[in-house]
Chains A and B, each alone.
Chain A
Amino acid sequence: MAGSNKLNITPPRWLLAELSYKCPLQCPYCSNPLDYAKYPNELSTEDWKRVLSQARKMGAVQLGFSGGEPLTRQDLTELVGYARELGYYSNLITSGYGLSEEKIVELKQAGLDHIQISIQASTQELNDHIAGTATYQHKQDVAKLIKKHGYPMVLCVVIHRENIHQMPQILEMAENLGADYLELANTQYYGWAHLNRDALLPTREQFEEAEKIAQAYKEKVAGKMKIYYVVPDYYEDRPKACMNGWGTTFLTIAPDGTALPCHSARELPGLDCPNVKDFSIAEIWNESKTFNFFRGTGWMQEPCRSCDEKLKDFGGCRCQAFLFNGDMYSTDPVCSKSPERHRIDTAINSARELALSDREKPLVFRNSKNSKQF
């Protein structure tokens, strides 16, 4: 293993329970693995309950039910109720598809704390195009019902080149729907988003313009609606402190029970991610090779190893280092100190060329037919 540093293991605080890869939507930026169709097995209700109670005992308190679409699980209400008993603060991360008023009430009674609903764009035409499904009107209705039943409502809009020009309308839509939180998540280029990057990555000018609008709006709605703005790291010169440090805070459990330090970690070679069917959460978190792999700083190469910022960003994202450099130990290429930074610039330029040309590159939508090709 690369960086075992067992002296300093902090307990997990956030648990992301990816209940199912099934999803009626087909977002071309989906962060699920390209080959998700290879993992059709899902944990049983009993397995999930065991995971929830073991992680809670270690100190996990924020819980996200996600997927895919978590509403495809028939036992969702039961799991929500169980999580509430254990004292989790739970969040349903949903596309809103299949969420009826009855279900909203049922989940509230079971103890769900908040709902994060995604909307793809501020217009029906674009929303339905990106989602690959006609969902716009339903999402608007669901957003209102979430508020009606007293949940804090988090509206999540993933930003990319097809919708970035709608920033002013997206902000207005969120305010009109009464969102308590608006998450403007610039696309992170992993999974399907990586595959579609040339068509999705905004140009620097587009990004800067949109950011200005969002920041100004932030002040306008201060005290009413909180705006979380997730920056697109390609346009930064320092990488993100990915997952707040490997194996320090976040634990993701994939639908088949694979435990992951971040939701893309499955794509890294030789990690042998453990499964909750074989090990307890404590064993996985404290002792598995996977979770110790990039703990601490012992695994780092130059320029990170002797960099005085290494405790700030932990050398950036391991998946991004692997995707660009083919070397998961290397410095995240977003960093201006990385000798591979030019690879990010090449990606930016390639997307820019496509954006400024009149060529079209069709989006590859996230569905099982496409997934089976990987």
Chain B
Amino acid sequence: MTITPDQLIQFSPLHRLQWEEAQQKYVILYPEGMVELNQSSAEILKLCDGSRMLAQIVAELEEKFATSGLTNDITNFLNVALQNGWIKQA
């Protein structure tokens, strides 16, 4: 299972992405479990709202952090996210 570039990416309706004040970090919540996210993973997942495709997510983040060359890192992370069921396509 890998990301299809020309399809929208949405966060899984069976998971919840949430800021945790006590932990000062974003977490993913799902039945019987919780994953703590580092800042860059959280920034990527926040853009997975069903309105963007891979290239748009990359472009937005590169602009936000005034950098370039993020395509590989973001694609790798999204592939992991897809395999874990955190995001889905179509």
List residues of A whose CB falls within 8 A of some B CB: 11, 13, 57-59, 61-62, 87, 89, 91, 113-114, 116, 150, 152, 154, 180-181, 183, 223, 228
| Chain B neighbourhood of A116, CB < 8 A | 31
**Interchain Cβ contacts under 8 Å between A and B, 28 examples:** A11-B22, A13-B34, A57-B22, A59-B20, A61-B20, A61-B29, A61-B34, A62-B29, A62-B32, A87-B18, A89-B18, A89-B29, A89-B30, A89-B34, A91-B32, A113-B16, A113-B29, A114-B14, A114-B31, A116-B31, A150-B13, A152-B14, A152-B30, A152-B31, A154-B31, A180-B14, A223-B83, A228-B32
Within 8 A of A (CB), among B8-52: 13-14, 16, 18, 20, 22-23, 27, 29-32, 34
- List of B residues within 8 angstroms of A183 by Cβ: 32
7 nearest A-B residue pairs (beta carbon): A59-B22, A89-B29, A152-B14, A114-B31, A154-B31, A152-B31, A181-B31
Name the residue on B nearest A88 (C-beta).
B29
The chain B residue sitting closest to A13, CB to CB, is: B34
**A152 vs B14: C-alpha distance in the bound complex, in angstroms?**
6
Known A154-B31, A183-B32; further 9 A-B contacts with Cβ < 8 A: A59-B22, A61-B18, A61-B22, A62-B29, A87-B18, A89-B16, A180-B31, A181-B32, A223-B1
Question: Which residue of B has the minimal Cβ distance to A58?
Answer: B22
CB <8 Å contact, A59 and B23: yes
Count class of interface residues, chain B: 10 to 19
In the complex, A223 Cα to B85 Cα: how many Å? 8
Instruction: Report B40-83 CB contacts with A as 1/0, cut-off 8 Å.
Output: 00000000000000000000000000000000000000000001
| B21: min CB distance to chain A, Å | 8
Q: Which of B1, B31, B85 is in CB contact (< 8 Å) with A91?
A: B31
**In the complex, chain B residues whose CB is within 8 Å of the CB of A62:** 29, 32, 34
Measured CB to CB, the nearest residue on chain B to A89 is B29
Task: Please report the C-alpha to C-alpha distance between residue A86 and residue B52 in the assembled complex, in whole angstroms.
Answer: 30
CA distance A102 to B22 in the complex (A): 35
- Most chain A Cβ neighbours within 10 Å, of B13, B22, B83: B22
Write out the residue numbers on chain A whose beta carbons fall within 8 Å of the beta carbon of B16: 89, 113
Question: Using Cβ atoms and an 8 Å threshold, which residues of chain A touch B23?
Answer: 59
Chain B residues lying within 8 Å of A89, measured Cβ to Cβ, are 16, 18, 29-30, 34
The minimal Cβ–Cβ distance linking A135 to chain B, given in whole angstroms, is 22
A11 and chain B: residue at smallest CB distance: B22
Shortest distance in angstroms between A358's beta carbon and chain B's nearest beta carbon?
A: 40
Q: For the complex, give the distance between the alpha carbons of A61 and B27 in Å.
A: 10
Q: Who on chain B is nearest to A223 by CB? A: B1
A95 to B57, CA, bound (A): 43
Q: Can you name the residue of chain B whose Cβ is closest to the Cβ of A152? A: B14
Q: Which residues of A contact B22 (CB under 8 A)?
A: 11, 57-59, 61
In the complex, what's the smallest C-beta–C-beta distance from A270 to chain B, in angstroms?
32
CB-nearest residue of chain A to B19? A87
CB distance from A52 to the nearest CB of B (A): 14
Contacts of A13 in B (CB 8 A): 34
B23 nearest CB neighbor, chain A only: A59
Chain B residues closer than 8 Å to A154, beta-carbon distance: 31-32
